[in-house]
Structure 1
Amino acid sequence: MPILKDQIGNTFEFAQSPKRIISLVPSQTELLYDLGLEERIVGITKFCVHPYHLKSTKKIVGGTKKVHFEKIRLLQPDIIIANKEENTLEIVEELRKICPVWVTNIITIEDVFQMITDFGQLFNCRTEAQKWNDKIQYSYNDFKHFMKEKPTQKVAYFIWKNPHMVAGSNNFINEMLKLNNFINIYDNTEKFPGRYPEIIIQKMKIQGDPEIVFLSSEPYPFKEEDAFEIGRFTHHAKTVFVDGEMFSWYGSRLSKAFEYFKKMHERL
């Protein structure tokens, strides 16, 4: 196999395509399955819920932020697939003592295309990878056409409660918001440092006064009472519950996300 490079610049040289894969990222587990690699997946996280049957056929090795190193070691993986944002540096460094760890780094749609191409080379499934890239590219082009005449709207996208956290700058959710002609009021690294800043909901009006407040289904599943609580401080803003997977899962899920976004705009 040729020398390959992951998305944080680490180089890898495999004598043959890795046969035993552990995936520590739910959206990447789904992608590996969609690339036809189900038989090679030996371990996943408890959050890897698509496709659902994998939870009963594959070994659960922990979560994304906390893994069972011994369970992973016993599975004798050839490669572990991680992500710069989802998995901590400490976890990745510890896992490197077991086997090579391939780290993705996804912020833009282009990063998604690159990851799929990389997996095609890494797991010798280039044709399948190209099919998925073509499918996503087609949906992406179609969606850009759909969005041409849509006005911009100011939004806030909540991901967590206690403390309240939102999507800020430099993350995939923010890129998805931009594609939808939404102006994220927290996309400002000087005022709101970090990818997912903690905010005080009482200050939302002066922080940007959003027209729409999105409450995500994950990682925190927001409820009606949360909408009521946040709504008290946004006055005229419309509160909308959204499927967090469509905004934050990169990979093959994107082909479904663009259709979801179209329906969302029709509701708005």
Structure 2
Amino acid sequence: MDHQYPQRIVCLTDEVTEWLYLLGEQDRIVGISAFADRPEEAKKEKPMVCGFTGANFKKIMATQPDLVIGFSDLQADIASRLIKEGIPTLITNQRSISEIMNTLMMIARMVGAEAKAKVLLDKMNATIEEAKQFSQSLKENPKIYFEEWDDPIITGIQWVSEIITLCGGKDVFIEHADKQNAQGRVLANFEPVVERNPDIGLFCWCGKKMDKEAVLNRPNIQSLSFCKNNEIHEVDPIFMLQPGPATIMEGIPYIMNIIKNWSQRK
């Protein structure tokens, strides 16, 4: 391990853990999030020191980190406290596909793994290119509704909206995509979804399983195309809501496959 780079990294967020493992740099990790499900061995090998918005500072300090990496304004309080303790802390806030790619390369540079990162990012770029080619082959572009949370209903998130568009779909709430804050993406009720009548419904509730029965009991949902044609899909937040490698490597093929199956049934 090259000592000019950080030796003891705490990952406050799951995609960083996954990325360091993919780079073969997992020996640098000394602490992870309780939500770090990828790769599976991470939880067996590394101590859990935080949730997403909360952290065990005693545990973090005990790992003697020389770098802590987190994500978004939701971890600002954790970061602030660590910075006051003199711990080098990086909080990224990637929201788009290009920002995800740039963030992954930045983290790779921080651990001296640029060459390995370039190979992986080239694969991701090939996946993006494949989606572009696929979208051009579609005779019709499905209207797609993506739901991140059920109560209140939260829709739109920039990288997901971009993936939907990339794969040839039309995000029915695309106007929400540039709003970073979840409050800016809340629907007052389900009626706007009914009005836009999407062909495909993607339900990706952050941190819990979709309650399909509850969804099907929403007012006027039976009139929707996605309900009539059984195009209600539960999407795993583990790969779709973490703006890291899995979003590109698994999220894009997953959405592309749903659209492909939809188009073949038309």
- Normalising by structure 2, report the TM-score: 0.84
One-letter amino acid of the counterpart of residue 119, structure 1: I
Q: Distance in 1 between matches of 2:222 and 2:147?
A: 13
Alignment of 1:138-177 (within 5 A): 138-150=126-138, 151-168=140-157, 171-177=158-164
Question: 2:229 corresponds to which residue?
Answer: none
Counterparts in 2 of 1:200-215, with a 5 A limit?
200-205=188-193, 208-215=196-203
Residues 68 and 80 (structure 1 numbering): CA distance in 2 closer, same or farther, change over 3 Å?
same
Cα 1:71–1:207 change in 2 (3 A) is farther
Partner of 1:76 in structure 2? 64
Match of 1:97 in 2: 84
Q: How does 1:55-66 map to 2 (within 5 A)?
A: 55-66=43-54
Distance verdict in 2 for CA 1:126–1:212, change over 3 Å: same
User: Mapping of 1:119-268 within 5 angstroms?
Assistant: 119-150=107-138, 151-168=140-157, 171-189=158-176, 194-195=181-182, 197-205=185-193, 208-216=196-204, 218-230=206-218, 232-233=220-221, 235-238=223-226, 239-253=232-246, 254-268=248-262
Deviation at 1:142, TM superposition (A): 1.6
Kindly indicate whether the alpha-carbon contact (under 8 Å) linking 1:246 and 1:256 is maintained by their aligned counterparts in 2.
yes
Q: Secondary structure at the match of 1:156?
A: strand
User: Structure 1: which amino acid aligns with 2:151?
Assistant: N
Tell me how far 1:45 sits from its aligned partner: 0.7
More helix by share: 2
Deviates more, 1:97-106 or 1:41-50: 97-106
Superposition deviation, residue 109 in structure 1: 1.8
Asked if structure 2 preserves the Cα contact closer than 8 Å seen for 1:18 and 1:123, the reply is yes
Retained in 1: the 8 A contact 2:150–2:205? no
Greater mean deviation of Cα atoms: 71-80 or 143-152: 143-152
- Cα 1:193/1:252, change in 2 over 3 Å: closer
Letter in 1 for 2:204: S
In structure 1, the residue matched to 2:97 is 109
20 and 207 in structure 1: CA distance in 2 versus 1, 3 angstrom threshold? farther
Could you tell me which runs of 5 or more consecutive residues in structure 2 were left unpaired when the two chains were aligned: 227-231
Higher mean alpha-carbon deviation, 40-49 vs 256-265, is at 256-265
Please give the secondary structure, in 1, of the residue aligned with 2:6: coil
**Counterpart contact for 2:67–2:88, Cα < 8 Å:** yes
Please tell me whether the aligned partners of residues 205 and 234 of structure 1 are also in contact (alpha carbons under 8 angstroms).
Answer: no
Q: What CA distance in whole angstroms lies between the structure 2 residues aligned with 1:42 and 1:158?
A: 34
**2:194–2:224: 8 Å Cα contact kept in structure 1?**
no
1:161/1:220 contact within 8 Å kept: no
